[in-house]
Chain A
Amino acid sequence: MNTHENLSESHAAGSPRLFFMIWIWLVVITAIEVFLGYETQHFSPTFMLTLLVILSVVKAILIVSYFMHLKYEKPSLALLLIPSTVFCLCMILIFFFPDSLRLLQFRSH
């Protein structure tokens, strides 16, 4: 019973105005990404890819913490979910980078 009341209280976090502001930010970052996609003269593909990934991660953090409410949950939930997911992603990436970079070097330009 007690936990249930606490639950409903925690749900009050985040006003429609805040959600709208987060949404505006997400749209703005999307616009920046589309713009970056056509800045091929100034940036190298690697730099552009890095920027796009960073911006996408920023968007993911905004969505997960505000829209998916993780910021207002007990910290234990985020501590369980985020590090385990990041660890698994790193395990995939360990095999991805050496192979894909070698592939790039094999190319005859």
Chain B
Amino acid sequence: MHETKDDAAISSPWGGGESPFAINSKKFGMWLFLVSDTLTFAALILAYSYLRLANPDWPRPFEFSPAIINTTIMTVILLGSSLTMVMAVSAAHGHDRAKAVRYLLLTAGGGVLFDILHIREWFHLFSEGYGFGKSPEGVPLFGSAFFGITGMHMAHVTIGIVYIAIIAVGYGRDKFTADDVEVSGLYWHFVDLVWMFVFPMIYLMSIKL
């Protein structure tokens, strides 16, 4: 009788017998990391907005062609890689290992393409005299804020490419489970989500305030 009472206590969500969220700890850990990363990016984007409002002669070097066309293509590529990531997760949970690995590699490929286009965009700005802490208009904060945010995002994309490639190889060799694929998917979708704010706030708001 004593034992059954203990069992009942342990198996309740508050007794630690089962997860109150019904997810594994890796996934929960990733969610907590993503919340903290959300606040990092929120702080960066708000700092950018603040500096922009504080400077009436804020540089706006994003013409429709080539900058906006380029970044729109980058957005669609990143969204597409999110779609292939979702397909990879659903294939992994359907126990179709080969298909999941194929989709994971496609996702990493989308990330590489995004990085290449983004670096091309950066070099275009470098050639116009922009850089970290410098801009031809004499508002060096623009360079710091712009390259700070997009560099931070690009670092996340690059880490994501490496992460997904490792998961793809490991999952193909049966070293990781479908849950690991799903956790890497959470990270990748978050990188996509951040870009959904960086793109309109920095590139599309290229008007005089």
Q: Which residues of B contact A53 (CB under 8 A)?
A: 200
Task: Out of B23, B197, B199, name the residue touching A73 (CB < 8 Å).
Answer: B23
Whether A33 pairs with B204 at a CB distance below 8 angstroms is yes
Query: B39 contacts A64, CB within 8 Å?
Result: no
Partner of A23, one of B18, B19, B82: B82
Of chain B, the residue at the smallest CB distance from A66 is: B86
Whole-angstrom CA separation of A53 from B76 in the bound complex = 18
Q: How many A-B residue pairs have CB under 8 A?
A: 141
* Interface residue total, chain B, C-beta cutoff 8 A: 55
Question: What's the nearest-Cβ distance from chain B to residue A104, in Å?
Answer: 6
Q: Which A residues, 16 to 55, have Cβ-Cβ distances below 8 Å to chain B?
A: 16, 19-20, 23, 26-27, 30, 33-34, 36-38, 40, 45, 48-49, 52-53, 55
Contact: B189 with A92, CB < 8 Å?
A: no
Nearest chain A CB to B107's CB is how many angstroms away? 12
**Are B82 and A67 touching (Cβ within 8 A)?**
yes
A63→B68 contact, CB < 8 A = no
CB distance from B45 to the nearest CB of A (A): 10
* Cα-based distance from A49 to B205 in the complex (angstroms): 7
* Chain B contacts for A103, CB-based, 8 A: 50, 53-54
A68 touches B68 (CB 8 A): no
CB <8 Å contact, B31 and A77: yes
Known: A3-B19, A7-B23, A76-B21. A45 touches B207 (CB 8 A): yes
* Whole-angstrom distance between the Cβ of B195 and the nearest chain A Cβ: 10
Considering the chains assembled together, what is the distance between the CA atoms of A19 and B83 in angstroms?
7
B132 at the A/B interface (Cβ < 8 Å)?
no
Complex CA distance for A73 and B21, rounded to whole angstroms = 8
Contact of B46 among A38, A56, A59, A92 (CB under 8 A): A92
Q: A52–B202 Cα gap in the complex (Å)?
A: 11
- Contact residue among A19, A38, A52 (Cβ-Cβ distance under 8 Å from B64): A38
Contacting pair A77 B23 (CB below 8 A): yes
Does B189 contact A6, Cβ atoms closer than 8 Å?
Answer: no
Our pick among B28, B76, B178, B196 for the contact of A56 (Cβ within 8 Å) is B196
In angstroms, Cα B83 to Cα A26, docked, is: 11
Within 83-129 of B, Cβ neighbours of A (below 8 Å) are at: 83, 85-87, 89-90, 93
Contact A34–B204 (Cβ < 8 Å): yes
Q: Tell me whether B189 and A3 are in contact (CB under 8 A).
A: no
* Residues on the B chain within 8 Å of A80, using CB: 21
Residues in A whose Cβ lies below 8 Å from that of B85: 67
